[in-house]
Amino acid sequence: MRYSAFSIFKQALAGNLGWKPAWREPQPKPHYDVIIVGGGGHGLATAYYLAKEFGVRNIAVVEKGYLGSGNVGRNTTIVRSNYMLPGNEPFYEFSLKLWEGLEQELNYNVMLSQRGIISLYHNDSQRDHYTRRGNAMMMEGVAAEQLDRDTLKKMLPFLNFDHARFPIIGGLLQKRAGTARHDAVAWGFARGADRLGVDLIQNCEVTGIRRESGVVTGVETTKGFIGCNKLALAAAGNTSRVGEMAGLKLPIESHVLQAFVTEGLKPCIDHVITYGAGHFYISQSDKGGLVFGAEIDGYSSYAQRGNLATAEHVMEEGVTMIPGLSRVRVLRAWGGVMDMSMDGSPIIDRTPIDNLYLNCGWCYGGFKATPASGFCFAYLIAKGESHHVARALRLDRFERGFPIDEAGVGTQPNLH
Amino acid sequence: MASLIPCPHCGTRPRQEFSVRGDATPVRPAPMAADEVWNDYMHVRANPRGRIREHWQHIAGCRRWLVVERDNFTHEVFSVSDASLEQGGAR
């Protein structure tokens, strides 16, 4: 069923009784050309683009919970491409371009709102760093704009400009960045993939990866053995556990990242704003809640909940940046399990096993990458070589000495 | 992570007094060890779910480096010992 203004009107007249489920609930077939492990944003996007762009039709996505039950439904919904390094920026810009056409592509409202992201800075060296980042973006053809203090004061009067330790002296703006409705992204890709014949198999946990003479022949699941020609892992958060089933040793540590939402307010924050003095970022959802978060808790964790010490730290950062936040009540807090890689950048690559492909290490930047990650992973699976914007995201870049370390903190996964 | 960590020197203290470094399992190789050995130490992590050993420092207490053995899914802390008492894992 194609969604349109006309279909809404027609269904309304018919009492809304004619809507069909957005996807089927198939039982697994004995064998598929490609099995994708992980029914989150990246796995579903991979399935969609494999079927749509690369003509592979016999595909299954196996998901241990329900579709979109992981980090695609747990992030702070920010979409942007304001990266600095050559290995990253073209990839994220490709992703942003896909975002800009995604609703038409999927015939699904993902509520993309290009409200702009403003990264604040507080001293001269930070301004130099953001100028460098803006220049790096423009070198890749991505617009970036420096905002001075007076402009920011008119745009964002609620900020704490004269903080004694962290005065705000300017900000870097990417106008095309913004937010998207995170669940809708998973649902849109799921519906799109299902319409192209992809089997989306929920509540089906992979318990083993069967290998014969060095190649993968299929996966053991809670719904029995399913055979495949190619196996693709998109199980971020649990990559190491799934990888271990195939004997992979990976440069990944699992960490928890918390996010928060306040009670609904009238429109007050029009952009996505990030704080240069900490790692705080905030935007306002269409329902009015302020959605915000900061850095990871910093210790190894597979639990989808965080520590109160970090929650307190996040609130302190928020109130330092916007003093008025102290009067707002927080409604909910939650955590997601992140694949933290050793350089803070993701991996889309082949593995030492010929027909096993890997998509992981998204740290806490995976949501914005969803369309490009799916596209580039599908390209890799279909053609056996990296898409040109993802060719730096190699699994062996660490041992070869080509890390992509935006933050410049070295091989400390909890510092990225 | 648990809200309390029993420091072997200072007794049970709030987690805020401690700072985490990371996985305590990898052991620094000899300076002239093979590239593969160094790569494993620098970049490769077992990253299990369940019982793990992690380096923490009691920065607001005795400032000693500790090895905390805990469950990274349930957050239960099993044991805390001074890192200098660990075989090989000490720095």
Query: Cβ of B87 under 8 Å from any chain A Cβ?
Result: no
Per-residue pLDDT tens digits for A279-328: 999 999 999 999 999 999 999 999 999 999 999 999 999 999 999 999 99
Residues of chain A neighbouring B14 (CB-CB closer than 8 A) = 309
Residue A286 within any structural domain of the chain: yes
- What domains can you pick out in chain B, each with its CATH number? 4-86 (3.30.2270.10)
Query: Cβ of A249 under 8 Å from any chain B Cβ?
Result: yes
Q: What pLDDT shows up at residue B85?
A: 85
Nearest to A308 among B3, B22, B47 (CB): B3
Closest-CA distance of chain A to residue B59, Å: 15
Q: Where does residue A200 rank: exposed (0-12), middle (13-18), buried (19+ CB within 10 A)?
A: buried
Query: Cβ of A299 under 8 Å from any chain B Cβ?
Result: yes
For CA atoms B60, B61, B62, B66, the dihedral sign is: negative
Structural domain containing residue A143:
113-178+253-339
Q: Is the per-residue pLDDT at B89 higher than 50?
A: no
- The average pLDDT across A363-388 equals 97
Residue A37 within any structural domain of the chain: no
Q: What pLDDT shows up at residue B1?
A: 83
Q: What is the mean pLDDT of chain A?
A: 96
Residue A150 within any structural domain of the chain: yes
Q: What pLDDT shows up at residue A96?
A: 98
In this complex, do B20 and A414 lie within 8 Å of one another by their Cβ atoms?
yes
- The average pLDDT across A97-104 equals 98
Per-residue pLDDT tens digits for B13-49: 999 999 999 999 999 999 999 999 999 999 999 999 9
* Complex-level ipTM: 0.93
Residue A65 within any structural domain of the chain: no
Residue A129 within any structural domain of the chain: yes
The count of domains in chain A is: 1
Q: Is the per-residue pLDDT at B91 higher than 60?
A: no
Residues of chain A neighbouring B55 (CB-CB closer than 8 A) = none
For B40, the enclosing helix (H) or strand (E) is helix B35-43
CATH number at residue A303: 3.30.9.10
Residue A413 tokens read as: 């996964």
For A128, the enclosing helix (H) or strand (E) is helix A124-139
What is the DSSP-derived secondary structure letter of residue B45? B
Residue A313 within any structural domain of the chain: yes
Best residue in A248, A299, A308, A313 to probe B by mutation, most B CBs within 10 Å?
A299
Res. B86 pLDDT band, cuts 50 70 90: confident
Report the alpha-carbon distance of residue A4 to residue A8 in Å, rounded.
Answer: 6
Residue A212 within any structural domain of the chain: no
Query: Cβ of B59 under 8 Å from any chain A Cβ?
Result: no
- By C-alpha distance, the chain B residue nearest A250 is B44
* Cβ pairs A/B, distance under 8 A: 73
Res. B2 pLDDT band, cuts 50 70 90: confident
Res. A1 pLDDT band, cuts 50 70 90: confident
Residue A132 within any structural domain of the chain: yes
